[in-house]
A and B are shown apart, each in its own frame.
Chain A
Amino acid sequence: MRELPGLATAAWLVARKDLAIEFRTRTAFFSAIVFALLGLTIFYFAWDATAVAAIDLAPGVLWVIFTFSGLLGLQRSFGVEQADRAMDALLAAPVDREAIYLGKALANVLFVAGVQAISLPALALFYNVPLGGVWLPLAGVAFLAAIGIVAVGTLFSAMAVNTKLAELLLPMLALPFFVPIVTAAAQTTARLLAGRPAAEAWPWLRILLGFDLVFVVACAIAFPYTLEE
């Protein structure tokens, strides 16, 4: 007896499989965490506390770290499908191509969110930034930005994986599209950390939400075309 999986079920199956692979190997996650912590350390030692206040520096550092450590996870996303041509089996399965994209994106969002969950307290520790009352909205902003970054990054990861210069091509393609997301996220973060009224952060948050929506929809639609040979 068979009942073909719907979009959400198929996406969850793909995401669960990707997370199981990452849980077993842990290579990309540990790489991303080590990268994030090393990045924070280097910024810390390069920082002149008498010239720039921690509260002014922290948002920029945080989003540079999030962006580049997220790329490490995105590189791996379609890399696992390349070995032994597992992608062929995935594409031959009776699921919508969009489900593959959404499943990959979901696994990537959880990956990036995991890196953020460790990096954020590390930043507070290194730069003595009080997260106290803003940690929840800050986590929300980080998660929203992760959605946008992953939406674009997953699409470009699929495009780049078949090329010889995949590791170079993915950042080159994706980073320009990350700019509006990272800008909005960094501006919102700066206002939250500075204890500014929520109304000041709202316009940036709306931009972030808008880009998330546009990128998720556009990339899900574009994804099937990236798979055609």
Chain B
Amino acid sequence: MTGRRDDGQVFALSGGVTSQYFSRMPSAAPSSAIAVPPVVEAVGLARAFGGRRAVDGVDLSIMPGECLALFGPNGAGKTTLLRLLAGLLAPTSGTCRVGGLALKTGRAVRAEVGLISHASMLYGALTARENVEFAARMYGVRDAAGAARRALGQMRVADRAEAPVRALSRGLQQRVSIARAIVHEPRLLLCDEPYTGLDESGSAALTAALAERRAHGAALLLVTHNLGEGLALATHAAIMRRGRLVRHEERSALDPAAYASAYRELVTTDA
């Protein structure tokens, strides 16, 4: 993994290197330890809305099977970063590659990305099955019906497959939304507060689904305010503040209590 600090210094976390907080590894650090290309690689990614830079020169890469938990206060630019990586927003500057292809190349890249948001992104008048099948067909899944059935089963909501989404509770809608996002087995899964509204069973199903995607070599970017939730899943953790990655390190290298304390301090400073 690589990241860029507030001062623009690039640092790398890869191939078993135990990185220290703010380790000063130059951008040209040997990358021979990385045998396979990253699933997602952003370089100098920036997005401005008017004069405000919501994302300001973010460098990051996530390898297959890795999970980057991204924390940050409200307005830090986390969701904007996710929308950039999903191809929903065009960057003001910088580049992003998914599976080695530039994001701006369009369809082929978007086919590799799954997006989970706190908004369900579902059609209330359609049933859960119809929503997930529609997504499967839009992603060109050959056996859309079978894939939808599996995804709904994985999220433990198969018994409500024929219910209109508007008749489901918020938690069940979120499960269907997650099924929609994973039905095409994406290589990059972008999750924006995915645990919102989920009960214990739903959370367990989501955690299992994310683990299953990682086991198949998918990369995960998990945006959350909940440190415990994020660190439980993550192989790497990063903190975003004012559009920049200010911390970016391996999960194994950090002490959760100290991390939580540092995070609180950052958030308090921002407020």
Please pick, from A2, A25, A228, the residue contacting B139 in the complex, using a CB distance under 8 A: A2
User: Which interface class (under 10, 10 to 19, 20 to 34, 35 or more) fits A?
Assistant: 20 to 34
Binds B, one of A83-91, A110-118, A140-148, A149-157: A83-91
Size of interface on B: residues with Cβ below 8 Å to A: 38
B119 cross-chain contacts in A, Cβ below 8 A: 84-85, 88
Give B90-133 interface residues, CB cut-off 8 Å to A. Answer: 90, 106-111, 113, 115, 117, 119-126, 130
B126 cross-chain contacts in A, Cβ below 8 A: 17, 20-21, 24
Binds B, one of A38-46, A93-101, A169-177: A93-101
A88 cross-chain contacts in B, Cβ below 8 A: 83, 86, 88, 115, 117, 119, 121
Number of A-B residue pairs having CB atoms within 8 Å of each other in the complex: 95
Q: Contact at B140–A2, with CB atoms within 8 Å?
A: yes
Q: Contact at A13–B121, with CB atoms within 8 Å?
A: no
The answer to whether the Cβ of A4 comes within 8 Å of any Cβ in the partner chain is yes
The answer to whether the Cβ of B172 comes within 8 Å of any Cβ in the partner chain is no
The answer to whether the Cβ of B149 comes within 8 Å of any Cβ in the partner chain is no
A90 cross-chain contacts in B, Cβ below 8 A: 138
Q: Contact at B89–A86, with CB atoms within 8 Å?
A: no
The answer to whether the Cβ of B137 comes within 8 Å of any Cβ in the partner chain is yes
Please pick, from B86, B123, B137, the residue contacting A13 in the complex, using a CB distance under 8 A: B137
For the A-B complex with A20-B125, A88-B117 known, give 13 more contacts whose Cβ atoms are closer than 8 Å: A2-B141, A4-B139, A5-B140, A17-B126, A85-B120, A86-B122, A89-B122, A92-B86, A93-B135, A93-B138, A93-B139, A94-B107, A94-B140
16 CB contacts below 8 A, A to B, read A1-B143, A4-B108, A4-B111, A10-B138, A13-B134, A84-B120, A84-B121, A84-B124, A86-B122, A89-B180, A91-B88, A92-B88, A93-B110, A94-B111, A228-B90, A229-B49
Q: Which residues of B contact A (CB under 8 A)?
A: 49, 83, 86-90, 106-111, 113, 115, 117, 119-126, 130, 134-135, 137-143, 164, 173, 180, 184
Q: Which residues of A contact B (CB under 8 A)?
A: 1-5, 10, 13, 17, 20-21, 24-25, 80, 83-86, 88-96, 228-229
